[in-house]
Amino acid sequence: MKLSKDVSTKFSKLDISSYTELALLIPNSYEDYRLKNKLIEHKNQLIDATVESVFRAPNTIQITFFVHNFGHSITGVIFRPRPYMIHQFSVGSRDNYYGMIECKQGQCSISMPKKISMVGEIVAKYKCGLRTDVMGRLIKKELTVEKLEEEGIPQSIAETLLGLHFENAEILDQDELDIKSLEALKFTELFSYMKLLKEKRRYFKPIKSLKAAYKTWAKSLPFVLTEEQVKTIEDIQNDFTKDTASKRMIVGDVGSGKTMVILASAYMIGDAKSILMAPTTILAQQLYEEALKFLPEMSVTLVTNKTKKTDLSEYDFIIGTHALLYRELPKAALVMVDEQHRFGTKQRSVLEKLVSEGEKKPHFLQFSATPIPRTLAMIESAHIDVSLITTTPFTKDIDSKVIHKNDFKELVVHIREEIQKNNQVLIVYPLVTQSEVLDYQSIEEARAYWENNFNDVYVTHGKDKEKEQVLLDFREKGSVLISTTVVEVGISLPRLTTVVIVGAERLGLSTLHQLRGRVSRTGLKGYCYLYTNKSSSERLDKFVKTKSGFDIANLDLKFRKSGDLLKGLSQSGNQFRWFDFAEDLEIVKEVKKCLV
């Protein structure tokens, strides 16, 4: 919709670009300039009054008014008056004044009375980039149901929004918005955001579109794929047939079988070439080993900082770390990024550009093991297709428990029992070195106890340059691993059955879930202990009863109000004033219908 120069200038001052966004700038208060015959205490009210007397004190002006609509006199008080104010009140003059009415011991007063000319109106007050009177005129002249409908807002919602701006006596009688108004604001706020997301989405021709098949390969596997794995693979299969390069994010819980989706995608692309970038050498190595095992007919190679430079064009499937960004890569029909949030947007787009062909782009798949709320997944789908894998190939048997100082002896007994069964234990500390602020031991303070009381203890953390090697050595020979949250995502540890998280209340629930997901990867009985000095924690109590990562993500929303859950996606922080990620899934569905 083309805007006039005047409207465009005002929109710019308000930092908005549409009438939908203008409608969302609702008044922060309303002033009722209608005359009433009854005095109401603790309310701003209009009076029709004659000035009977004026008295100037050091810090106040006191006026006696005879109020015609009440039939008696009241006192007016102006605090810290400016010199010109006394001239506004001439004895004997009759005008309309507006201010807060209060009564004490039978004496009534009106504080900070101001002259009013718009008698009989309800005037909306705005806190925004324009003066209230300018904003009021803009709204009156420009905001209409028709303009909102033209931008895609349903008529009923447009009418409700206009009611919040124009004379609406009902709003004045309540402190909170009614449900209908609140729902309209939530819908409109989300609609505006998702529309912007949709408009940002760009479409390119694919390097190759093809009718791909995966069922022969799936039948050759020694296990059956889950329904959600199959659904996701079929979504991708459908993407590959289109004449636009697809962009899809696959979000799956720890152990949900995303690796098989990666391999199925590479299989379907075949000799048109696929490239997969993983955040660590260990992850890349694991994916490479899985590819060799389950894609025997394809030529697969691994690229890390340590591999020699070779001609990569002879391979169907190239798996690597960020070392891929510094190699000459062949044109590839498919680019995949595992643990996509571990790479910056720039790194992901560099990889995409390296294998693009002029205006043609590869199909692009991003994988994440950090479950997100369904609400967020649906919102994100406005600019990228999203597939959720919420089930796992087998149910993990993990006991979760909150423990305290007096449980330590029992914990040590449990750890010894697990080690005797040739199982492994992970202990996660909040810090590497001692802190005056934190009431928990660091790795450096605690390691001596574990090394003196147990054999085969390994230690690593985020700043340890050898961390990947330490994790590999621990996998083969270790009993106890002392670490920070560096192990949250990464190496598969088949014998790991117990994780102890020290100072658990300091971590987000999603991080706790990722750490818990390290254990019981091969069906062994697992244990997750949350060690805290706090006597009670509602968050931790709810966490131990919740198993699904997607439910955990919702819990995290409720406790954190969406804080860092959006990290790495379109925007961070809580960008919505009305819409609630944790509660408003149905509104997302309604908005999506209107955006089709």
The burial class, CB within 10 Å (0-12 / 13-18 / 19+), for 407 is middle
Q: What pLDDT score does 567 carry?
A: 35
On whether residue 584 sits in a domain, the answer given is no
Q: How much is the pLDDT for 167?
A: 59
Q: Are 468 and 458 in contact (CB under 8 A)?
A: no
What pLDDT was estimated at residue 573?
Answer: 39
Residue 66, Ramachandran bin (φ over 0: left; ψ between -120 and 50: alpha; else beta): beta
Decide if 516 is inside a domain: yes
* 224 & 327 share domain: yes
C-beta of residue 261 within 8 angstroms of C-beta of residue 524: no
Secondary structure element (H or E) that encloses residue 112, with its range: strand 107-115
Q: Given this model, what pLDDT does residue 497 score?
A: 95
Same domain, 259 and 312: yes
> Who contacts 283 (Cβ-Cβ below 8 Å, separation ≥6)?
338, 339, 489, 490, 491
- CATH number of the structural domain spanning residue 425: 3.40.50.300
Type and span of the H or E element at 229:
helix 227-241
CA-atom Rg of the chain in angstroms: 33
Number of domains in the chain: 3
pLDDT of amino acid 560: 64
Structural domain includes residue 561: no
Same domain, 250 and 315: yes
Regarding whether 345 and 262 lie in a shared domain, the answer is yes
pLDDT digits (tens, 9 = 90+) for 233-268: 999 999 999 999 999 999 988 778 899 999 999 999
Q: How many CA atoms lie within 13 A of 557 on its CB side?
A: 22
Task: Answer whether residue 145 is part of any domain.
Answer: no
Q: What's the pLDDT at 435?
A: 75
Residue 518 belongs to some domain of the structure: yes
Helix (H, G, I), strand (E, B) or coil at 335: strand
Tell me how far CA of residue 34 lies from CA of 122, 125, 163, 267, 572, in angstroms: 7, 16, 18, 74, 44
Domain coverage including residue 470? 398-546
Query: Count of residues for the chain?
Result: 596
User: Of 503, 509, 558, nearest to 534 (Cα)?
Assistant: 503
C-beta of residue 549 within 8 angstroms of C-beta of residue 565: no
Same domain, 327 and 450: no
At 171 the pLDDT is 59
**Token code pair at residue 293:** 């095992």
The CATH number given to whatever domain includes residue 46 is 2.40.50.140
The answer as to whether 5 is a domain residue is: no
Same-domain pairing of 234 and 335: yes
Tokens of 594: 């209107």
Final residue of a structural domain among 91, 115, 139: 115
Quote helix, strand, coil % in the chain, to nearest 5: 40, 20, 40
Q: Is residue 560 part of a domain?
A: no
b (16+ CB within 10 A) / e for 234-261: ebbbebbeeeebbbbbbbbbbbbbbbbb
Q: Is residue 410 part of a domain?
A: yes
- Sign for the CA dihedral angle at 407, 408, 413, 417 comes to positive
* pLDDT 10s digits, 55-82: 988 899 999 999 999 999 999 999 998 8
Q: Name the domain boundary from 370, 386, 418.
A: 370
Clarify whether residues 332 and 425 are in a common domain: no
Give per-residue burial for 435-457: e unless 16+ CB within 10 Å, then b. Answer: eeeeebbbbeebbeebeeeeeeb
Judged on CB neighbours under 10 Å (0-12, 13-18, 19+), 538 is exposed
Same structural domain for residues 362 and 325?
yes
The verdict on 226 and 363 lying in the same domain is: yes
* Low-confidence spans in the chain with pLDDT less than 50: 562-574
Contacts 24+ apart (CB under 8 A), 172-178: 172/30, 172/32, 172/122
What's the CA gap between 320 and 250, in Å, rounded? 19
Cβ atoms of 457 and 419 within 8 Å: the answer is no
Co-location of 322 and 408 in the same domain: no
- Distance (Å, rounded) from C-alpha 110 to C-alpha 99? 6
pTM: 0.74
Token look-up 């020979």 returns: 477
On the 0-12 / 13-18 / 19+ scale of CB atoms within 10 A, 325 is middle
CA-closest candidate to residue 367, choices 278, 238, 285: 278
Long-range pairs for 469-478 at CB < 8 Å and ≥24 separation?
Answer: 471/282, 472/282, 474/424, 478/424
Question: Rounded to 10 degrees, what is the CA torsion of 489, 492, 496, 501?
Answer: 0
pLDDT at 564: 36
| Domain C-terminal end among 370, 385, 407 | 370
Examine the domain organization and report whether 439 and 494 are in the same domain. yes
Residues 434, 490, single domain; the answer is yes
